[in-house]
Amino acid sequence: MLYDGDYRSYNAFFNLYVIVMTSLHQIVTIILLTTIIIMTSMAFERVQLYMTIELRHLKKKYDNGEEVLTDINATIENGQFYILVGASGSGKSTILNAIAGFIPINDGTVVINEKDVTQLPPKDRNLSMVFQNYALMPNLTVAENIVFGLAARHTAKDIQQQKLNDVLNLVHLEEYKNKKPGNLSGGQRQRVSLARALVSDAQIILMDEPLSNLDAKLRAEMRKEIRALQQQLGITVIYVTHDQTEAMTMGDQVMVLNKGKIEQIGSPLELYNAPANTFVADFFGSPSINLLDVKMRHNSFHLNDQFEMLTNVDIDEGQYILGVRPENIVISENGALRGELTHIEPLGDGTNIEVNIGQNQSVRIKVSEQLDLTLGDVVSFNVLIDRALLFTPSGQLLHTGKSVSAVI
Amino acid sequence: MKKASNLKFRNESALGWLLLLPSFIILGIFVFYPMLKTFFLSTQLTDLMGNPIKFIGFKNFSNLFTSDSFMTSFTITLIFVFFSTLLTLVMAYLMAMSASQKIMGIAVFRTMFSSTMGVSVTVASILWLFMFNPQIGMFSKILTFLHLPQINFLSDPTWSLVAIIGTTVWMNLGFAFLILLGAIQAIPQDLYQVADLDGASWLMRLRKITIPATSPTIFFVTVVTLINAFQTFGQVDILTSGGPDYHTNLLVYAIYQDAFVNHSVGRASAQSVILTIIIMLFTMIQFYVKNRKGANYANE
């Protein structure tokens, strides 16, 4: 059959054969390769940590009936820098302790890596922690402190030493290895504490206000360092703080807590630009946002029955809260609003002022130039209404930034 | 200006001395004078009334060191001090550790454990006298119940010392427990949380956290219990009167016997001086260590 007929047809058939075989070969190769890739990636995934933490309906009550956590739900993804922020008593440390397993919770589950760990003791949760007061044993040297956990888990001595050297290198503490914590500065102690958390190979590190005992300059430095380490090592960090700057500058995701309830979860800029309510709006930003009680009437906001701000936002007439960030106010000769200067803070690179607009209402303004004003001067200014936030009287967000745009 | 400040200073220091005067008088009459008198009497030959007759230098002391009865009571005192302090410390520490757990109703145990602090030596001794009684005592009842041979705790040469040690430990426990409990509770909780996360064993926690953190307190309690043990008197007097055959004749009881039963005041004073020196030694060690530790912990 093959050699029957002319040469051309044979050639064509051969060509066909070659094409089919090559494509078959290619298909097989592709299939094989993809299987290999999928298999390896699966294997990789299994070893390497698909470390999510899920909090499902966490509830915690004290014995006296006081509710510290009411229905906390959150998912913390692998490699995230997750921040729990709130004032003292907001329950942020309680959540951290519940994740670590230091305190029993009344209801709900903590799931780490798709495994329910709610009933597991802390040591089986594969976590490490950095504490506010460093929690270093004063009687042990820096090196002994760092390998404490490894020693507790009976890691071989030479591996301990190797890991110790690696981590000392990471936090730049090589020459302090044999010192006692009592001879170190606060920043160095916190680095030791950090090193101890890193050396354990736990992929999740809990941090409980680790920088609150440091002075401002050192804090800024450590912020950078911790964030850089987290990115470099790809670890998941759950970080408790009361400091809005830390939350803004370090976090991938931020959970804002108030009295045991979640107010909002989001990225720092989401929280800043679209706060769910006045609490969150007030929490972030320094100086804090101006929350002005306004009346909506005839397409304009009325403030104090005295000032009027035109807008095209489509809402019913009535009472609202207008949230204006201090940096979204401009001082101008013929501003729509005016008031008496009651407070001035020269910052060098700018000025923060407070202006009393009557009826016990103050407006905080932040400008980026130096102002030559004295207390009692009359300041007139305009609100950049297209950057303002609009809240219901109960404090829930109605409209963000651009949607509350000005007509003028 | 300078005169005025000088004047003020003089007035202030005069006031200071005035305020100190009452304590000086009281200390002088009840502490300094008796102490000096004891030192004086220890170098004297005394009559039956305790009056000094003749200066004999260190004769009283050299007599003591060659006398069997003193050496016996000295040895027994050392044995007694060693065991009572050790037992008090170990038991109080274990009690303090268990009472520092956060368990419901633990406060009841804390109160119970520290309650012996409020019992006076006499009351405690009489209590234990009843318990040791061969006819009606608790211990003899227990021995009968267990079908063990009876022990006459207070008239057996070996057991009598054990009985005194037991009583003393029981009495010292309250104080030692309370102080150690305070120290254990003052250890920052986060240290234990670190241990929790790493799954450190009970022994490791004890060795690396609890004991190092409480070591200054352990030392303090040791010294105080030691000094107390050297001065033991009431238990001996009520339970055994130094018997049987001087087997519980602790140093202070021997001094009392020499001074007020045997009427050899010089000899008793010499023993007092020796006891004073021993206690002073321990106090000095304590001060020395405390100051050194203080420097260490100041950085903390």
Q: Would you say how long chain A is, in residues?
A: 408
Q: CA-to-CA distance for A176 and A188, rounded, in angstroms? A: 9
Q: Give chain B positions within 8 Å (CB) of A238.
A: none
pLDDT tens-place string over residues A155-179: 889 999 999 998 998 888 888 989 9
Compare B152 and A367 and report the one with higher pLDDT: A367
pLDDT profile of chain A (408 residues), mean per 10 = 54 72 80 77 54 87 84 90 91 91 90 88 89 90 91 89 90 88 89 90 89 88 90 91 91 92 92 92 91 86 80 81 92 87 92 89 91 90 87 87 48
DSSP string of A5-34?
S-HHHHHHHHHHHHHHHHHHHHHHHHHHHH
A153 Cβ contact partners less than 8 Å away, ≥ 6 residues apart = B198, B199
Residues 6+ apart with CB under 8 A from B114: B174, B175, B177, B178, B181
> Does any CB of chain B come closer than 8 Å to the CB of residue A102?
yes
CA–CA separation, A261 and A367 (whole Å): 35
Query: A266 in helix, strand or coil?
Result: strand
What is the pLDDT, as a whole number, of residue B298? 38
B197/A140 CB distance under 8 A: no
Q: Which of B195, B197, B200 sits opposite A100 (nearest CB)?
A: B197
**Contact between A152 and B204 using a beta-carbon 8 Å cutoff:** yes
In this prediction, residue A405 carries a pLDDT of: 45
pLDDT level of residue B178 (50, 70, 90 thresholds): very high
Q: Using one digit for the tens of pLDDT, what is the confidence trace for B97-138?
A: 999 888 888 888 888 888 888 888 899 999 898 888 888 888
Chain A residues within an 8 Å CB radius of B193: 100, 102, 122, 129, 131, 135
Residue among A132, A152, A182 whose CB faces B198 most closely: A152
Q: Measured between alpha carbons, how far is residue A350 from residues A287, A353, A362, A376 in Å?
A: 12, 10, 19, 20
A-B Cβ pairs (cutoff 8 Å, strict): 71
- Higher-pLDDT residue of B289 and B172 is B172
Pure H helices in A72-215: 92-100, 142-146, 148-152, 157-170, 186-199
Tokens, residue A354: 């407070």
Residue A380 to chain B, least CA–CA distance (Å): 54
Per residue in A11-24, pLDDT tens? Answer: 666 677 777 777 88
Question: Which residue in chain A has the smallest CA separation from B298?
Answer: A182
B68-263 in CATH: which number? 1.10.3720.10
A137, B300: Cβ pair inside 8 Å? no
* Confidence bin at B272 (pLDDT 50/70/90): very high
Task: Report in angstroms the alpha-carbon separations of A131 from A96, A101, A128, B160, B190.
Answer: 11, 15, 10, 54, 7
- Mean of the per-residue pLDDT values for chain B? 86
Annotated domain spans of chain B: 68-263
Residue A195, φ and ψ in degrees, nearest 5: -60, -40
Q: How far is B224 from chain A (nearest CA, A)?
A: 24
- Assess A120–B contact: CB distance below 8 Å, yes or no: no
The tokens for B243 are 């018997």
Preceding omega of B134 cis (within 30 degrees of 0): no
Q: Is A128 on the interface with B (CB under 8 A)?
A: yes
For chain B, give the secondary structure using H, E and C.
CHHHHHHHHHHHHHHHHHHHHHHHHHHHHHHHHHHHHHHHHCCEEECCCCCEEEECCCHHHHHHHHCHHHHHHHHHHHHHHHHHHHHHHHHHHHHHHHHCCCCCCHHHHHHHHHHHHHCCHHHHHHHHHHHHCCCCCHHHHHHHHCCCCCCCCCCCHHHHHHHHHHHHHHHHHHHHHHHHHHHHHCCCHHHHHHHHHHCCCHHHHHHHHHHHHHHHHHHHHHHHHHHHHHCCCHHHHHHCCCCCCCCCCCHHHHHHHHHHCCCCHHHHHHHHHHHHHHHHHHHHHHHHHHHHHHHHHHCC
Task: Give the C-alpha separation, A290 to A277, whole Å.
Answer: 13
A contacts of B200 (beta carbons < 8 Å):
148-149, 152
Identify the weakest region by mean pLDDT among A263-277, B69-83, B237-251.
B237-251
Asked if A151's CB is within 8 angstroms of B193's CB, the reply is: no
